[in-house]
Structure 1
Amino acid sequence: MELLILAQLFLAWALASPTHPTKPDCAELANAWTNPAVDISQAIEVPPNSLNISSIVNEVSLCWVRGTIKYSAKNDKLDASGNNTLTWELFLPDSAKYNGRYLMIGDGGFAGTIENNTMLTYLNLGYAVAGSDAGHSEAANGDGTDVPFLRNSAELQAWIHNSVAIATPVTQSLVAKYYSQHPDFSYYWGCSTGGAQGYALAQYHPELFDGIYAGSPGNWYSHLILSFLWNGLHTTGKAYMSQQVLSFVTKNVIEACDELDGVKDGLIENPLRCSFNVTSLQCKFGQTPDDNEPTCLTADQIKALQEIYAGPKDIRTGKEIYPGFSLGSENGLLGQELILYLDYTGPILREVAFKDSSFNIFQFNWGSDVDAVNQKVSPFIDALSSDLSRFQQRGSKIITTQGWSDQYNAALWPLQHLQEIQRTMKSQSDFIEVFMVPGGGHCGSNPSYPHVPAVYHVLEALVPWVEKGIKPSDMLSSESPDGTNTTRKLCPWPATAKFVAGNIDNWNSYTCVYPQTPIPASQIAYSSYHEYGTSIPLPGTVDSCGGRQLITNITANFCRVVLDTTISNSSSEHIESWLPDTWSDRASYRKRRYWRMY
């Protein structure tokens, strides 16, 4: 697909360009395209401080270009006769402010609109910024129960997989036309659905971008919506939890696990280390549950939380369908209870999986119906490949952020996907990093954690990595919703932020620390204590020493720890540590390998 589009676009651009290109004025961009599939409806100059979008104002003058692209039913070429239209916008900063970089902004939810408030933010930083509606209008999103674009296979395929690839070459060529040179580097920025689009770019269109930010990624969208359904169905009736109940649970979780990182800051740095048992909150004899001022939970509510933590399971095999939510995320789950499964799961199941407007989501079969989702939905909207070698080989980079308290996406999903990439691509760390955000919500803040900074300085980490090879050792997050001047240090997984000294609300008071990898207990064969004068038999056959040996010249009391680690199917390595009661601050090492046949 991408080769056909690029060939058409750059041929058209070349034909429209003068022999010696010079910077045209903004209005001339309206006539920059000869391909009938591309229509430019607007190209206007906008002076500084005259464009206000969601309280964000343009600090620099810009050329604001807007247009449409007709694309084919298969998304594989521009097609003037096609019935499918993608709308795009492009903000071009004054050449004196332009930093030489192109940035495409992704979409959110079902898309249908252009994220031009985000575009304006990065325009002010000097980027030439583009965005699109993902190949369909907002009207095609319907009313939440009926979503027309899901019935259009071309628009469905474009939504996550291909819309960015359709819009990017057109807008990139206009950048080249305006500044008389192609961008030095091209970046993508997206979160949620935009995060899914980011992974789709790395998988299906690896040639387009040098750097990708894919935040809170919904790149397993077909199972993300099953997570919505699972959580919604398990919190109906007596299992329903009010916002007050959810906040009560989170309050207790934080009280139990806040200081595991050594700092009392109202956060859990790494929820995987928290062992809080929610059953401790179940109402005891004499306690009365109260939705408004809760002091305990009912058995039904406890069960619902346990199901949410566990995540959806296949009833035939018990296999995980999607990861569950983390401890500390409870206060953001009201949308899971009331909205998400109705607004997202229902339409996708009815329109795509079963093509039956009468399908009853409350009768979803957590076995055979999961198979239907895998077969009929996943090919259109998922981007799950763990082999991103084409993207990696061109030197491109990906950064993902994920809030531990995400209200929509289970925080463990990006870590599971990273693990799959690690298994497939042994040198994964040279092109992808995941930054987990304690208390972070979906693409920013969780309203129940107003003191947690909600702006992640991703491009400040991604750009030096792409352009100078400086791998990010940390990332700044700032601008907490409560208005305090709080900053936090985000760390590349599996590192976490450890407080060193100073103000706990200043990111410079922390350092990123990687966990020490413990030896699995199953590898420890035995440990024993030996006193002066004892003899120690060595196990097995030692190289060519001819049988069992005794160590008899022991002159100190010591603890002996013996480990056996598998090397291959036919051997293991025998490792011992001798730890004297008193030692000389010195150590020596001699390697002996013990072979065993299985």
Structure 2
Amino acid sequence: MRPASWAFAATASAAIAHAATLDDVCTASYVQASLPAGDFYQGITVDPSSVVVSAVSNASVSGQTWFPDATFDYCDVTFAYSHDGRDDQVHVRYWLPAPDEFQNRYLSTGGGGYAINSGTGSLPGGIIYGAVAGATDGGFGSFDTSSDAAFLLQNGTVNWQSLFMFGYEAIHELSTLGKEFTRRFFNMSDTKLYAYYQGCSEGGRDGWSQVQRFADEWDGAVTGAPAFRFSFQQVQHLYSNVVEHTLGYYPPPCELEKIVNETIAACDPLDGRTDGVVARSDLCKLHFNTSSVIGKPYYCAASTGSTVIGPFAGSTSNPEQNGTVTAKAVEVADKIIEGLHDLQGRRVYLSYQPAASFGDARTQYDKETGSWELSINSGGGEFVSRYLNLVNSSTLDSLDNVTYDTLKHWIYQGWQRYEDTLHTTWPDLTPFQSAGGKVLHIHGESDSSIPPASSVRYYESVRSVMYPGQSYNESNAVLQDWYRLFLIPGAEHCGSNSLQPNGPFPQTTLETLINWVEKGVTPTTLNGTVLSGPNAGETQQICAWPLRPYWKNNGTELECQYDQASIDTWHYNFDAFKMPVY
């Protein structure tokens, strides 16, 4: 069963033997004969004996964020390769559609957190569109091993090769080998193979790592909530903790949740439609005063369970919580949203939008003292411990004596050390644009893990660097010929938001990209679907930056409008640094 929204071509590649079935080609011998030849990729040797093949029928997916429900057959192939002169082994996995379902397409996928892949979770997103879909283990030991496990050989000694693989090389090799394997497997000869990418979070950064370096690797890429500007982003996870530590107040989670819910309720109507979704967090920033929440009661029942803050997971055991919102809690919330400044008041980095949950600020309960205390964010803590201090540890023991200037120092240190691998904000994309590439860049406006203003910053950097001397509107128009950014109303990190369930999510973004690349259908807006909540199934259009959504006629008609005051709230001057921050 195919998604109803997609009109598939009636025929596959003319070069394929249409009588062939999945069982005919999904064999070890056929796959081995289809592997890239020994001299195809200089410096890489593919190991035919490593091939593992399995035919899968009637696989199904449902309730996913990045692709619609579907049932399909595929050939699951893994094999290994090594780098000549180096004692290593890298595994790649490719899901290949049945020959009669192949649509001359290839798709690479990425990971999340410190992982370079998403298991097999992203691969159906290629299969349902007739594409071979690939993932890599980066050479880190297995598909279940994250890059941080391979980063240090021992304390103080970096495995630089693993860093380069995680930074950009493994995804490049995955794509280059995958495209050649696809051509050979389906006997494509001179038939055009369209190559794509889709990923979010670290996967979004993975995508930009290729667009910025390899002009002709893909015809198009979907990059979601990218974790680029890596040192800034990872240290940003500690900023909320340092705010709490500096102000000497550790809010119960329920108190911050009350602030978020009151913010949503107050700012929801500002976009012209009352539906539980803050589609205009910029208007919220301009018009909502958080101090209005002071004194309002909150209550949360006792709970035990797991938490997921962006790509980082943890566990919680919270007692019953009740009280009224304090001025101290509002001060913490306002300081977090304000963003990091050094002790001289200069801006270091940006932060989350109003109505985003305060995931980084989550505190933990001490049963012995009966009080709430600091809970150091694991993503930021590991970055400082492992990637800056080069200690094989996934946490920091404390934030004592850590100031806003300390965070600035950590950011700058990581920026310098990893600019050529993890920073990933090179703004001149001329080679990719000249090669005809297209990018759909999306970011949830209520993302509580990677601030959406981070994506706006990069988009604006590309615009100003590539089209200097043109007016703002002129440069936007020419940039949008091949690169478009969409902020998703109410959406969380790489998905829908339980606090704003009526928000749309662009579940068929890859389909939109395919239509743009292959048929020239330019996405003026992006199709969004409400995936949960009372309005589940409703479709909405999502505006392309810099236009902002506003609902007219009592919330029945969406207008994508130009609002300079709103746009200005997304622009920042990082005057704490003398180097440009792209």
Q: TM-score range by the shorter chain?
A: 0.7 to 0.9
Q: In 1, distance between residues paired with 2:341 and 2:378?
A: 22
Report which of the two structures shows the higher radius of gyration computed on alpha carbons: 1
1:5-404 aligned at under 5 Å gives the runs 25-27=25-27, 28-33=30-35, 34-35=37-38, 37-40=45-48, 41-49=50-58, 59-70=71-82, 79-111=83-115, 113-137=117-141, 140-141=145-146, 151-181=158-188, 183-236=192-245, 239-274=249-284, 275-283=287-295, 296-315=324-343, 318-330=345-357, 332-333=359-360, 342-356=377-391, 362=399, 363-364=401-402, 365-404=406-445
Q: In 1, distance between residues paired with 2:539 and 2:500?
A: 14
How far 1:497 moved relative to its partner?
3.2
Task: Go from structure 1 to structure 2 and tell me whether the alpha carbon gap of 1:442 and 1:245 turns closer, same or farther (over 3 Å shift).
Answer: same
2:492 maps to which of 441, 444, 452:
441
1:563-578 aligned at under 5 Å gives the runs none
Q: In 2, distance between residues paired with 1:102 and 1:145?
A: 29
**Greater CA drift, 267-276 or 211-220:** 267-276
CA contact (8 A) 2:388 2:414 kept: yes
Q: In 1, distance between residues paired with 2:327 and 2:149?
A: 33
Q: Which residue of 2 aligns with 1:574?
A: none
Q: In 2, distance between residues paired with 1:339 and 1:482?
A: 33
AA aligned to 1:29 is V
CA contact (8 A) 1:51 1:57 kept: yes
How far 1:186 moved relative to its partner?
0.6
Task: Go from structure 1 to structure 2 and tell me whether the alpha carbon gap of 1:486 and 1:50 turns closer, same or farther (over 3 Å shift).
Answer: closer
How far 1:51 moved relative to its partner?
7.4
Give the secondary-structure state (helix, strand or coil) at the position aligned to 2:244.
coil
Cα deviation code 1:309-344 (max 9, x no counterpart): 0122233x5333321111111365555999995422
How far 1:459 moved relative to its partner?
1.6
Q: In 2, distance between residues paired with 1:519 and 1:382?
A: 28
Q: In 2, distance between residues paired with 1:53 and 1:46?
A: 21
Task: Go from structure 1 to structure 2 and tell me whether the alpha carbon gap of 1:145 and 1:225 turns closer, same or farther (over 3 Å shift).
Answer: farther
Task: Go from structure 1 to structure 2 and tell me whether the alpha carbon gap of 1:224 and 1:517 turns closer, same or farther (over 3 Å shift).
Answer: closer
Task: Go from structure 1 to structure 2 and tell me whether the alpha carbon gap of 1:157 and 1:234 turns closer, same or farther (over 3 Å shift).
Answer: same
Q: Which residue of 2 aligns with 1:556?
A: none
Q: In 1, distance between residues paired with 2:553 and 2:89?
A: 55
AA aligned to 1:370 is I
How far 1:99 moved relative to its partner?
1.5
Q: In 2, distance between residues paired with 1:201 and 1:290?
A: 47
Task: Go from structure 1 to structure 2 and tell me whether the alpha carbon gap of 1:421 and 1:296 turns closer, same or farther (over 3 Å shift).
Answer: farther
How far 1:147 moved relative to its partner?
7.2
How far 1:471 moved relative to its partner?
1.9
**Greater CA drift, 365-374 or 385-394:** 365-374
Give the secondary-structure state (helix, strand or coil) at the position aligned to 1:407.
coil
**Greater CA drift, 52-61 or 223-232:** 52-61
How far 1:450 moved relative to its partner?
2.7
Give the secondary-structure state (helix, strand or coil) at the position aligned to 1:451.
coil
AA aligned to 1:298 is T
How far 1:416 moved relative to its partner?
1.3
Q: Which residue of 1 aligns with 2:472?
A: none
Task: Go from structure 1 to structure 2 and tell me whether the alpha carbon gap of 1:277 and 1:501 turns closer, same or farther (over 3 Å shift).
Answer: closer
Give the secondary-structure state (helix, strand or coil) at the position aligned to 1:49.
strand
AA aligned to 1:472 is P
Q: In 1, distance between residues paired with 2:521 and 2:234?
A: 37
CA contact (8 A) 1:216 1:442 kept: yes
CA contact (8 A) 1:404 1:438 kept: yes
- List runs of 5+ in structure 2 lacking aligned partners: 1-14, 39-43, 301-319, 365-372, 468-477, 569-582
Cα deviation code 1:328-384 (max 9, x no counterpart): 113655559999954222222223223245876624423443332222233331111
TM-score normalised by the chain length of structure 2: 0.74
Q: Which residue of 1 aligns with 2:307?
A: none
2:537 maps to which of 474, 485, 495:
485
**Greater CA drift, 220-229 or 442-451:** 442-451
AA aligned to 2:418 is V
AA aligned to 1:171 is G
CA contact (8 A) 2:93 2:136 kept: yes
Cα deviation code 1:370-409 (max 9, x no counterpart): 3322222333311111111111111111111111111201
Question: What's the Cα RMSD here?
Answer: 3.6
1:468 maps to which of 509, 519, 532:
519
How far 1:119 moved relative to its partner?
0.5
Identity of aligned residues (%): 20
How far 1:472 moved relative to its partner?
0.7
CA contact (8 A) 1:402 1:435 kept: yes
TM-score normalised by the chain length of structure 1: 0.72
Give the secondary-structure state (helix, strand or coil) at the position aligned to 2:421.
helix
Q: Which residue of 2 aligns with 1:515?
A: 562
Task: Go from structure 1 to structure 2 and tell me whether the alpha carbon gap of 1:381 and 1:440 turns closer, same or farther (over 3 Å shift).
Answer: same
How far 1:136 moved relative to its partner?
1.7
Task: Go from structure 1 to structure 2 and tell me whether the alpha carbon gap of 1:294 and 1:496 turns closer, same or farther (over 3 Å shift).
Answer: farther
